[in-house]
A and B are shown apart, each in its own frame.
Chain A
Amino acid sequence: MEDTVDPDKVILCPACDLLLEKVSAAPDQSVICPRCATKLYAPRNNSLNRTLALTITGLILFAPANLLPLLTMEAIGIEDSGSIVESFLGLYEKGYYFVAVMVMLTSLVIPLIKLGLLLNVTLCLRLRRYPEWLPWAFRTYLNLDEWGMLEVYMIGILVTIIKMYHMAHIHYDLGFYCFIGLLISTLGSSAAMDEHHFWEMMETRPLPENDPGAELKRAGMHG
C-alpha cells in the first residue's frame, strides 16, 4: 500500500518528514504541520503583481538609500555625515577586512542581488516566459534570503541615533528616508511572494493569454 502513494497528491513536512494529503488553502490562510507546527504554505492574493511592484520600487530606491548620507552628526561646530557605503569602507580602511566584507555583503550586495533575481523571476512569470535559468534564479533568491539584513541594519541606525542623542545634534538626511522606503519594499516583496505558487507556475508553464504563437515559441525555447 505504501508504494502506491502518488507523489503529486501528497506533501511532506520539511521539518519532520510527516506525510500529509495535499490540501488547498484560501489566500492568507496557512497550512500548518499537525505534528511539529511548521508552516507548510500560505497562499497570497495577487502575489505576482504585488511582488513585481514592490521589487521595482526597491530597485529604484536602492542607489539613493545606500549612497546618500543617512545622518549628519553635529558637535562643537563640526559636522560629520555618513552613508551605508561609507560605513563599511571605514571598517576596511581600519584593517577590519572580514567585518567590512560581511557588512558589505549583508547590507548591500545580497539585498541588491536578491532584488535583481526577484525582478527577473517575477517579470518572466508575468510575461509567461520560462528561460533555462529561471528555477536557478529563484532558488538562489530563496537561499540568499536570510543573508540580506536590511531590517537589522535599520535597528542598528536607530540604536546609533539613541546612543548619540545627547552627545551630538542629529540631522536626518535624504538617504535615511530612502533607506526606510527600501526596507519597506524589500520586506513587502518577500511577504507578498508566494513561493509555492511561483514553483507551480514554473512547473506547469501557463501560456500567455491571447497569443496563438505562444505554443510554438515555448516548444522552440525548450527544444
Chain B
Amino acid sequence: MGNSESGLLTGKDAGLVLCLECNKVLQYEEPEEGCLLLCPRCGAEVHFRKPDSIARTWALVVTAVVLYFPANMLPMMRVDFMGSPDYSTIMDGIIYFFKEGYYFVGSVILTASILVPVFKIIGIILILCSIHFRWKRWLRHKTSMLKFIEFIGRWSMLDVFVIALLGVLVNFGFFTSIQAADAATYFTGVVIFTMLAAINFDSRLLWDAAD
C-alpha cells in the first residue's frame, strides 16, 4: 500500500475519505451491507469514490455522442421571410455571422456551440481511456482539463437561449418571424448529458489508476 514512488500519501493510504459535499475529512469504514456512510456534518452520503463513476460517465457521454449528430445536421432555426420559410443549422448561423463581418460574435458562437461540445466529448473519452489503459502521464493536465470541462459545460446553452429570445423578439407578422427548429431539442440534450457526464466522473480514479 502507499505511493512509494513519489512518497506522497493519499486519503486512500491513510484510510480517510472526503465528503465531497462539505469537504469534511472522515475516517473511512466500509459500511455494512445495505447501509450507507453519512457525513456527520452535512448529512450527505459519503462514498469512497463516486459510485459506478466510470460506467455512468461512459453511458452519459455515449448518449451525448448519439445526440450530437442530429443536433448539428438538423435545422436549429426557422426564419420566415415574406411567407417563405428558411431553415438553418448551427453551422449556417455561424457562417452568416462571418459573412456579415461579425467575426467576434461568429467566433463566440463557433466556440460555444461547436468547439466546446466536441472538446468536452473528446476530453471525457480521453480521460476514461486513460483510466482503462492506466496511462500515467499528464495527470495534472488531465485533472485541469476535467475542471475546465466542468466549467465550460454550461456555456453551450448560449445558442439555445439566443433562439428562445429571437423567437419571442422577432415576430413581425408576415414580414419576418423566427422560431426554433428540431435540432434545438437534440442540442439541449448534448449540453445536459455532457454536463452530467462531467459531474458523475470522479477525478480521483485517474490518480488511483496511476498508483
Q: Which residues of A contact B (CB under 8 A)?
A: 2-3, 5, 7-8, 10-12, 14-19, 35-38, 41, 70-71, 73, 75-76, 78, 80-83, 86-91, 94, 96, 98-99, 102-103, 106-107, 135-136, 138-139, 142-143, 146-147, 149, 152-153, 155-157, 159-160, 162-164, 167-168, 195-196, 199, 202-203
Contact = CB atoms under 8 A, between A and B. Distances in A.
A155 B203 CA distance: 30
Interface of B: 2, 8-18, 20-27, 41-44, 97, 102, 105, 108-109, 139-140, 143-144, 146-147, 150, 153-155, 157-158, 160-162, 164-173, 175-176, 179-180, 184-185, 188-189, 192, 195, 199, 203-204, 206-208
A164 B170 contact: yes
Given A2-B15, A80-B169, A88 B164 contact: yes
Nearest to A88: B164
B200 to A, nearest CB: 13
Contacts of B22: 135, 138-139, 199
Given A7-B25, A88-B164, A142-B21, A18 B8 contact: yes
Contacts, number: 214
B23 A135 contact: no
B180 A91 contact: yes
A144 B150 CA distance: 13
Contacts of A16: 10, 139, 143, 203-204, 206-207
B140 A36 contact: yes
26 contacts: A2-B2, A2-B15, A7-B25, A11-B23, A15-B203, A17-B208, A36-B203, A37-B143, A78-B173, A82-B169, A86-B168, A88-B164, A90-B168, A91-B164, A94-B167, A96-B185, A103-B161, A103-B164, A106-B154, A139-B22, A146-B153, A149-B157, A152-B158, A160-B162, A160-B165, A199-B22
